Amino acid sequence: DTEVTQTPKHLVMGMTNKKSLKCEQHMGHRAMYWYKQKAKKPPELMFVYSYEKLSINESVPSRFSPECPNSSLLNLHLHALQPEDSALYLCASSRRTSGVYNEQFFGPGTRLTVL
């Protein structure tokens, strides 16, 4: 299994809703990443988990709450989002070899629309 899966593919939510995005990989990778991508822009890093511990938070607003329950699963909990949070949310994973993080493999993304 050499892929990263993300669910749901599409999500529409109101500003008062609570929802979650899910990401899963079974490649044995111990680093997992959340990115946000706006139209016609490159992905922007949000969070990095390494060995199930939050290692990087790129000053993301608290209405985004990441969670890494185990080495294969990464969640992004969403609450009280704003319309400007509408974007493609990408998950990625990478292997760590001898202390070095290798190339990242990306999932297909979740297209989020906040009304």
Partner 1 sequence: AQSVTQLDSHVSVSEGTPVLLRCNYSSSYSPSLFWYVQHPNKGLQLLLKYTSAATLVKGINGFEAEFKKSETSFHLTKPSAHMSDAAEYFCVVSDFNAGGTSYGKLTFGQGTILTVHP
d(CA 19, CA 13): 8
Question: Would you count residue 38 as binding partner 1 (CB under 8 A)?
Answer: no
User: Which residue in the set 34, 66, 94, 114 belongs to the binding site for partner 1 (CB under 8 A)?
Assistant: 94
Question: CB of 83 within 8 A of CB of 98?
Answer: no
Q: Tell me if 23 contacts partner 1 by CB under 8 A.
A: no
Q: Is 41 in the site for partner 1 (CB under 8 A)?
A: yes
Using the minimum distance from each CB to partner 1, give the nearer residue, 16 or 99. 99
Binding residues for partner 1, how many (CB under 8 A)? 29
d(CA 30, CA 52): 7
Is 15 or 58 the residue whose CB approaches partner 1 more closely? 58
CA 115 to centroid of chain Cα atoms? 21
**Is 90 near partner 1 (CB under 8 A)?**
yes
- For the residues of 17-55, what is the DSSP string, one character each? -EEEEEEEE-S---EEEEEEE-TTS--EEEEEEETTEEE
Residue 78 found at the interface with partner 1 (CB under 8 A): no
Asked if 42 is part of the footprint of partner 1 (rule: CB under 8 A), the reply reads: yes
CB of 115 closer than 8 Å to CB of 16:
no
Residues within the interface to partner 1 (CB under 8 A): 4, 6, 31, 40-43, 45, 48, 50, 55-56, 88, 90, 92, 94, 96, 99-109, 111
